[in-house]
Amino acid sequence: MKKEDIPQDDGALNKLTKEVVYAVDNSGNYTTELSTGWDVKSTALDAAWEDIEQRIAHARQKVLHHEASPILYFIELRLMDIGIVAAYTGFWKWTVKQHLKPAVFKKLSDTKLQQYADVFNVSVEELKSMNVHED
């Protein structure tokens, strides 16, 4: 890539910093230049986020239809998976899977609910209702 061809599009990272890109100058020597972003990669990131939003909405529907407990919704909302939730809560993966069942979730002790609430950074009330108020 030639130095003058380095894209200077807008991207999410640009809020924080420009990034270093390597390219060749007119005499063919490598040099670095700051870039504000590249459209091709910011749309790749957008595609990933659209998918996440869809998964969150889908999980919410499943919870409302009593096909899953609210834990599923928060797993998606916090970009986690069962393995990550297990690692943060200290529960076994198998246990987390059980807690995804609405009937099992209903019987969870306050202590366990609080553990989940802490990991998802919400209150127990918000955990149960899926009504989260955050910016």
Partner 1 sequence: MKTEFKHLQAAHCENGVTTNLLRSVGVETLTEPLAFGIGSGLFFVYIPLLKINKGPAIAFRTLPGHIFKRTCKSLNIEVVRKKFSNKEMAAKFLDSCLEAGQPVGCQVGVYYLTYFPKEYRFHFNAHNLIVYGSEGDNYLISDPVMENVTTLSKYELERVRFAKGPLAPNGQLYYPKENTTVTTEQIKNAIKSGIKRNVRDMLSIPGPIAGVSGIAYTGKRIKQWKNKLGQQKAGLYLAQLVRMQEEIGTGGGGFRYIYGAFLQEAHAFHPIDELMDISKIFTQAGDRWRSAAVQAAGIYKGRIGSQADFDVMGDYLLEIAEIEKKAFQALGKIKWNS
Q: How far apart are CA 27 and CA 38, in angstroms?
A: 24
- Kindly state the smallest distance separating residue 4's Cβ from partner 1, in Å: 14
For residue 84, the surrounding DSSP H or E stretch is helix 82-89
Of the two residues 107 and 135, which places its CB atom closer to partner 1 in the complex? 135
- DSSP character at residue 31: E
Binding footprint of partner 1 on the chain (CB under 8 A): 1, 6, 12-13, 15-24, 28-30, 32, 34, 38-41, 43-45, 47-49, 51, 79-81, 83-84, 87-88
Which of 121/129 has CB closer to partner 1?
121
- Of 23 and 104, nearer to partner 1 (C-beta) is 23
Q: Cα separation of 71 and 9, whole Å?
A: 38
**Token pair 């809560």 in the structure block, residue:** 89
At its nearest, how many Å lie between partner 1 and the CB of residue 99? Answer: 17
- Specify the residue, 66 or 87, whose C-beta has the smaller distance to partner 1: 87
CA distances from 30 to 34, 38, 47, 61 (A): 14, 20, 32, 52
Q: Whole-number minimum distance, CB 133 to partner 1, in Å?
A: 17
